[in-house]
Amino acid sequence: MLKPTMSSDYYETLDINRTATDADIKKAYRSLALKFHPSTNTEAGSAEKFCQLGEAYDVLTDARTKAIYDRFGEEGLRAGAPPESDQDDVWSSQYIYHGNPGKTFRQFFGSDNPFAHLADGLMCKGVKMQDPPIERDLHLSLEDLFNGCTKKIKISRRFMNECGGTSSIKDKILTLDVIPGWHEGTRITFPKEGDQGPNCIPADIVFIVREKTHRLFVREHDDLIYKTQISLEMALTGFCVDIETLDGRLISIPINAIVHPTYKKVVTGEGMPLSQNASQRGNLIITFDTKFPKSLNPESKRLIKQALHV
């Protein structure tokens, strides 16, 4: 007959004695699983401990596996316990833990959130919890983000009446000051501007900046990319690029270099303002799309060869 083995003591893992009741086992698992949950405990060894707790709970809360473990230890679980009598030659099936302590945790708590049960407890005690944030996209033009502006946004929200027992829907205007240089994804929060309710704290309303496509410029971080089409003659002999800026100025940029396929003209300080310091700006980067002639007559070819002959 197999002898109990103490190579892996589930009772010790849960810090309980071998006379512990089912309630004691669950109480111990609740406390230790919260303590060693990976989302709240990043100390070395905590993940391994969390897995050990899951296996110990899985074994000791099942009457069959607990009985086998109590009698034959871990070896009996892994190899299968022998038959109970000479008339019965069937060994019990081998026990293998599924290896997913998160699954065990979800089955026990009903959630992946290790503190969800605390939130439920607070609600039962009458403590108000805040509703999750309400997120809305705020579509802004590149001019809005370059110059800054003020946006008036109308929302409809539920207000509790003074008596506290009834509510009504009212419109409210939120004023949002756009700071020059804001980036795509910037979040602007209006605290507690969501619906009011008798048992909750109104949610925050969060606007998320979304940048509209521009007809002339493409933004890359704090730089502005401007693409212009030129002829081969212009690429070889020089020219000026006239650009209307986002703040309404007209600037003329001379191009005196040979415009080869990878050439870019960088104009310092003509990009987007920096949101941390609007007096500083990124760069304007001009790229070029050179159009080649579809055909050349013999005389034109001769003259080009003559001009390019070194």
One digit per residue, the tens of pLDDT, for the chain of length 310 reads 333 333 468 999 999 999 999 989 999 998 998 888 887 788 888 889 989 999 999 999 998 889 888 888 888 787 766 655 554 444 556 788 888 888 888 888 776 666 555 555 544 455 667 778 888 999 999 999 999 999 999 988 887 776 655 667 888 899 999 999 999 999 999 998 888 776 678 888 999 999 999 999 999 999 999 999 999 989 988 999 999 999 999 999 999 999 998 999 999 999 999 988 888 999 999 999 999 888 888 888 888 888 877 5
Residue 179 CA to residue 267 CA, distance in Å, equals 23
Quick one: pLDDT at residue 116? 57
The answer to whether residues 253 and 243 touch, using CB atoms and an 8 Å cutoff, is yes
Residue 45 CA to residue 23 CA, distance in Å, equals 27
- What's the DSSP call for residue 215? S
Nearest to 244 by CA among 222, 205, 215: 215
C-alpha distances out from residue 149 to 14, 31, 129, 169, 205, Å: 60, 53, 35, 29, 20
* Strand-pair category, 265-267 with 134-140: unpaired
- What's the DSSP call for residue 1? -
Quick one: pLDDT at residue 82? 60
Delineate the domains of the chain, giving CATH numbers in brackets: 10-124 (1.10.287.110), 129-211 (2.60.260.20), 217-308 (2.60.260.20)
The answer to whether residues 249 and 188 touch, using CB atoms and an 8 Å cutoff, is no
155, two tokens: 């929302």
Nearest to 303 by CA among 259, 260, 229, 293: 293
Nearest to 204 by CA among 162, 155, 242: 155
Say if residue 141 is exposed, middle or buried (CB neighbours under 10 Å; 0-12, 13-18, 19+): middle
| Alpha helices, DSSP H, located in the chain | 10-13, 22-36, 46-60, 63-79, 101-109, 116-124, 142-147, 232-237, 298-308
Quick one: pLDDT at residue 126? 53
**Prediction pTM value:** 0.55
Nearest to 53 by CA among 23, 93, 9, 109: 9
